[in-house]
Structure 1
Amino acid sequence: MNKSETTLSVLQEALQRLISGQPQRVSKTRRISVRAVEEEAGMGDGSAYYYSGFIKKIKNIQVKTKSVKPNSSLDQTLSSVRNKLKKEIQIKERYKLQLEEARLNLSMLATQHNEFMLEILQLKERINELLSDNTTDINSKSPS
């Protein structure tokens, strides 16, 4: 095997590891690309471009994986994050409703408080009037 065949073999093995979802050097969630294959193979930028047939193979696999792989781990992660966001939005809305109810209750309590205070003041005035009427009646009845 000459150097060119060895390099192509290493690139093909790296591509197979990426397809099978068991890469050694790149992230499992990384999409298949020429650069990802080169990094998985431990080669530099542009190493794969010497093999035009291999580049076409990668491009074909990219097209297939885009249409066949809707449930990748990245999609699952996005789905779980979206679900968490929906739950948080629901919790936020529930707290907004509770806050509005609490504000209404506070407003009603303040209104009742003001009404009671007004009634207390009126009753105090009435008591003072009765006391003053009572003292004038006592003074008028007392023998002088």
Structure 2
Amino acid sequence: MSKSENTRLVLEAALERIKQGKPKRIPAHRKLSVRAVEEEANLGNGSGYYYPDFVEKVKQTKVEIAENKGEIVQPEILTVRTKLKEQKRIKDNYKAKYEAEREKLALFAAAQHHLNDKLIQALARVDDLEYEKAELCKEIARMKRSNITAIHNK
């Protein structure tokens, strides 16, 4: 027997143990995959893919196990389409949330700008009033000085 035939026999035996629910090296609840069979056979990653008919056998066994459990096995293209639709839905959801938050930010920025403008106007008005107050104080001082009469000693 060649090394290739030995490897194939080891893979077949590992698949059979998994199929019977009595694996030695992997948990019994683990999903069936080529990688799981490789680990059960104590072989390297990707060694099962050298045998395309074995890969098909693993896929067929997976379908059979799912049918025995009463599960519906979707073709791979439908699974991919379902995942794509889910990702699109999530993306659209995040996009809608992003746009809503962006609108809130724009409103906040506009309100901030409006308040800043009002503050600048109020500070300018305060400066005007302080200048007017100073002028009035000078005017009052001048008026009081003009009402002062000299007291002469006679």
TM-score per shorter chain, which class? Answer: 0.5 to 0.7
SS at match of 2:44: coil
The total of aligned residue pairs comes to 125
Question: 1:108, CA displacement in angstroms?
Answer: 1.6
Kept in 1: contact 2:38–2:47 (CA 8 A)? yes
Residue number among 12, 17, 40 corresponding to 1:8 in the alignment:
12
Corresponding position: 1:52 with 2:62 = no
SS at match of 2:30: coil
TM-score if structure 2 supplies the norm length? 0.50
Unaligned runs of 5+ in 2: 1-5, 20-27, 64-74
CA distance in 1, matches of 2:97, 2:55: 44
Aligned-pair identity in percent equals: 21
Letter in 2 for 1:134: K
Kept in 1: contact 2:35–2:45 (CA 8 A)? yes
Kept in 1: contact 2:18–2:37 (CA 8 A)? yes
Residue number in structure 1 paired with 2:105: 95
Label 1:39 to 1:98 Cα distance change in 2 as closer, same or farther (>3 A): farther
Kept in 2: contact 1:38–1:48 (CA 8 A)? yes
Label 1:50 to 1:102 Cα distance change in 2 as closer, same or farther (>3 A): closer
Label 1:23 to 1:42 Cα distance change in 2 as closer, same or farther (>3 A): farther
Question: 1:105, CA displacement in angstroms?
Answer: 0.5
Unaligned runs of 5+ in 1: 16-21, 27-31
Q: How does 1:50-89 map to 2 (within 5 A)?
A: 50-55=50-55, 64-65=75-76, 67-69=77-79, 70-72=81-83, 76=86, 80=90, 83-84=93-94, 86-88=96-98
Residue number in structure 1 paired with 2:116: 106
Deviations 1:85-139 (A, max 9, x none): 6535633542343134213302321222222221231133123213312321x13
Kept in 1: contact 2:38–2:48 (CA 8 A)? yes
Corresponding position: 1:131 with 2:141 = yes
Corresponding position: 1:115 with 2:125 = yes
Kept in 2: contact 1:48–1:54 (CA 8 A)? yes
TM-score if structure 1 supplies the norm length? 0.53
Letter in 2 for 1:54: F
Label 1:99 to 1:35 Cα distance change in 2 as closer, same or farther (>3 A): same
